[in-house]
Structures are given as C-alpha cells and as structure tokens.
Structure 1
C-alpha cells in the first residue's frame, strides 16, 4: 500500500504511458462512467439534503399552530365561536387565537374546489387559528375543555397530517442516501471492469516487464495512478455539470408557487466538491484490487 501511494505521488512518466495507454476504450469508459455517476450523485445529495430540510420545516410549521373547528347552525355559530375564544384565552402555552374570515377559508378550499366554487353555499365550519408559543401547551387538556364547554368545537393538532408528511420526507432522505451508496458501488464496479479490461489487453506487455525485472507493485501502481486520475477528472466534470443544473432549477416564484426545495443552501454548496475526491478514492481502491488480483493470475 505504501509503495502504491509513493508511486501515485511520484508519478510514472513515460513508463506509465507504455504500461497503460493514455487513450483508448477503457480510458473513455472510465471518464464517462465517473462523470455520469458524479452527475447523478449531485442530484442524490441534493435530494437527501432537501428532504431533510423539508421534514424539519414541516414538523416545525405544523407543530407551531393548531386549529379549532366549530360546527353549528348559523343561528348560534357566533356564540359558540366566542365561547371557544374565551376558552382559548385562558389556555397556557398559546398566543392570540384568531377566527379565519370567509375569504381566508375560501382561499384554503380553492386548491380542492377551484376558485369558482360557491363556498358560501357549503356547510363549512368556523375555523380558529391558534398559534402555539411554548411547550406548556396541553393539547389533550384543551380538547377535553372544548368538548365540555363548547359543543361542536373540535381541536385539530395536525397530527394526522404531520406524521405521514414527515415520515414521507424522512423516507425520501433515506432513498437519497441509498442512491449515493448505489452510485458509489456502481462506479467501483465500472472502474474495476475497465481496469481488468486494460490489464487483459496488456498481458503480453506485463509478461515482458516481468522478464526484465519489473515488480508487480510497479505495474499495479501505473494502472492505479492512471485510473485514479481518470476517475477524478470524470467526476470533476460530472460534478460541475450537476452543480450548474441544480443552480439553474427554477425558484419558488418562477415555478408558479411550487416549491421543490431541491438544491443546496449556504455551506451546502461545498458538499458536492467532495464527490471528485470520493470518486478518486473509489478509483484507487477498485483499481488496486483489480490490478493485484489480475497480476496474481498472470504467469
């Protein structure tokens, strides 16, 4: 291993060119495969980071407020809404509750019914938005108080919405991490096949080098150095293309209000720069394993 690292740092000059041709099918395959996998790795990394942020944001936003629904006839609706507000005023851990206006309720229903639906004709309950300000808030206690003091009032703490959304976001994050692992494994497999193909094509050269006294570690170092460089160069190009593609994605306004969140924020833009380094490491160990195994089989 130390000899391999010394050979990588020192270089092999013309000797390496004679052992491992600088051009050819295996060189193109290695560069292309590394570039393609790095491009996909950028998107998998962006997906993992974005879904992690999404899960955290959904959890915080849905946990920061609750909703009280008041269902009753039009005659006593205002009285029950006022009774619910009175109960909320004496509840610790919450801020100033506010009844949503008819226009605000219509805006909430627009995605489901469309803008032309006569919401006034629907039996829509009165909605009260209740911000949660501290951990002292007891949702179960408030639910019991509303059931006892305000008939028709129901507390919705968004649990049924929050858990599936956060769970889905976490699974997407896990899918992104698994994708990164599979991309790394596929890259190692492609580089290993390319290295074996190059070694097989140069069996006669390897035998001649052995006859004149070349050691297996010297020959292996030449292959490892070449394929490590090719993997790093290809991954650098793929990473750059992936970063540019991520940067060109439309933002929230340009996407018509649809926020994908796919991208990097702040220092996260530096994380893709690790991909070429990881690709070089994958190329090093994959080629080293393939070279030593093939050289051991060549006699």
Structure 2
C-alpha cells in the first residue's frame, strides 16, 4: 500500500506542476491570426505588428515564419505538406508582460487597423486543460485517502483475527491478572511495528521506481514529469509514520472492541 501511495502522491504533485505550467505558459502567450488576400497580406501583417508594438502590456510580438508554421502542422499532415501553395493564414506570436494587456481593447484596435486579424488569447484552451489537471490532482489525493482507508480496514481485520485466534491465551492472561489494556498494548505494538516496517520498505521501493521514470521533458508529454522534483522528494517520507499512526489507532480500537466481547 505504501508503494501505491508513493505513486498516487507523485501523480498528485505532478499534475499540480502540470496545471501551473500550462496556466503560466498559455496565460502569457497569445496568437494573432491574419487572413487576407495575398496582395494585402504584407500590409495587414505590418499593421498588426505596429498595433502590437504600441499596445501596453505586450512584451514582444513577432511574425512566425512559414517554416515554423510547417513545423506546427507537421504532426498532423506530415513533413511534405506544400505549405507555400496553401492559403494558410499568417500567425503572430504575442508575449504578454507581467501586467498583461486588455484583450477586448486589442481586438477593437486590430479590427480597425487590420480587418483580417483575429486575436486568440488561449482562454478556451487554458481553462479545460487546467481543469483536467486539477481533476487528476484530486484523483491522486482521493487515491491516497482510499489507500489509507484500505490499510486501516486490513489492519483491523488482521487484529480481530489475531485476537480471536489467541482467545485462550488471552483468557489465561486474564486469569493471572493481566488487564485488557496490557493485552491491547501488546497487540497494538506488534501491528504498529510491522506496519511501520512494511510501509518503510514499500516507500523505499516506490521511490526507487519513481527514480527510474523519465525526467520531465517539454516534448515528452505528461508521463515524463511524473517523478518528484526538489523538496517534493521529502513528502513520501511522511508515508511510513502516517501508516504507523493509522495502524496504531485501527489496532487499538479493534483490540478494545474485541476484548470487550471475549468472555
């Protein structure tokens, strides 16, 4: 269970980083698409660049080359797409400053200066991506909670079975004067120590497995960044003590309840 908890924790932290990265990258970049007749394209491109250069909140604006546009289309249409013969609109990459710009005001200026220009501030893409990453992060946290509940349930069943199997021994201990609290402490100590040892082994195995996952790569997709980064490597160290605490209370409650039922 500790092994699975390490991966669930890694998933939760990785999706958090992914959501932050997507939000930051898409929030600070926009695209202006220019569609116009071929003879009007240079005029509108120049007009758009001039509008962007004089717009407060725009840190940089540059016209993407045909080679860059071909690279963007290559994953869908292959490397042999005759882009020079196709009526593909021009693209202007816009980088926002920290203050940002007013998208509605910029759209009005573009409509006046370059009627064929359309601003895309990536809002419709950013929100679903960030929401999806947030759901994955919640899924990881829910998985950790389910693992904890499953661990507590299994420990409770094991403690009940052990107490029932040792009913005669418990009866003898009671005859010689042992209190139920003493008997319960013996079972609690045994199960807590075993849980701590097992959780430690599982956590170490999980960390070793995480270390062999591919490192974060912008071109490699989501799974390449599933490992821990920076001080996040300290988070799994909390799994063994939390497992021991769970075992302590689960065994204690089970022992007290079971001992009361034994006659």
What's the offset of the Cα at 1:256? 7.2
Superposition map of 1:265-280 within 5 A = 265-280=229-244
2:65 corresponds in structure 1 to: 101
* Distance of 2:122 and 2:77 partners within structure 1: 21
1:257 corresponds in structure 2 to: 220
What's the offset of the Cα at 1:114? 2.1
1:142 aligns with 2:106: yes
2:2 corresponds in structure 1 to: 38
Matched residue of 1:208: which SS? helix
Structure 2: tracts of 5 or more residues without a match: none
Matched length: 262
Alignment equivalent of 2:197, drawn from 233, 250, 270: 233
1:88 corresponds in structure 2 to: 52
Alpha-carbon displacement from aligned partner over 1:78-136 (angstroms, at most 9, x marks no partner): 11111111111110011231000000111111122222322333321100011101325
Alpha-carbon displacement from aligned partner over 1:123-159 (angstroms, at most 9, x marks no partner): 2110001110132511110011111221110000001
Q: Which deviates the most, 283-292 or 142-151?
A: 142-151
Structure 1: tracts of 5 or more residues without a match: 1-36
Alignment equivalent of 1:73, drawn from 30, 33, 37: 37
* Distance of 1:118 and 1:222 partners within structure 2: 78
* Distance of 2:44 and 2:252 partners within structure 1: 76
* Distance of 1:237 and 1:184 partners within structure 2: 16
* Distance of 2:177 and 2:196 partners within structure 1: 31
Matched residue of 1:155: which SS? strand
Change (3 A) 1:165 1:256: closer
1:291 aligns with 2:262: no
Alignment equivalent of 1:175, drawn from 139, 142, 147: 139
* Distance of 2:212 and 2:9 partners within structure 1: 16
* Distance of 2:238 and 2:111 partners within structure 1: 56
Superposition map of 1:192-211 within 5 A = 192-211=156-175
Matched residue of 2:60: which SS? coil
* Distance of 1:104 and 1:96 partners within structure 2: 17
Residues 29, 96 of structure 2: 8 Å contact kept:
yes
* Distance of 1:243 and 1:135 partners within structure 2: 41
* Distance of 1:129 and 1:140 partners within structure 2: 17
1:244 corresponds in structure 2 to: 208
**What RMSD, in angstroms, separates the aligned Cα atoms of the two structures?**
1.4
2:19 corresponds in structure 1 to: 55
Residues 83, 150 of structure 1: 8 Å contact kept:
yes
* Distance of 2:105 and 2:234 partners within structure 1: 47
TM-score with structure 1 setting the length: 0.85
Alpha-carbon displacement from aligned partner over 1:140-195 (angstroms, at most 9, x marks no partner): 10011111221110000001110000000011001111011000000000110111
Residues 60, 96 of structure 2: 8 Å contact kept:
no
Residues 251, 259 of structure 1: 8 Å contact kept:
no
1:188 aligns with 2:152: yes
Residues 216, 226 of structure 2: 8 Å contact kept:
no
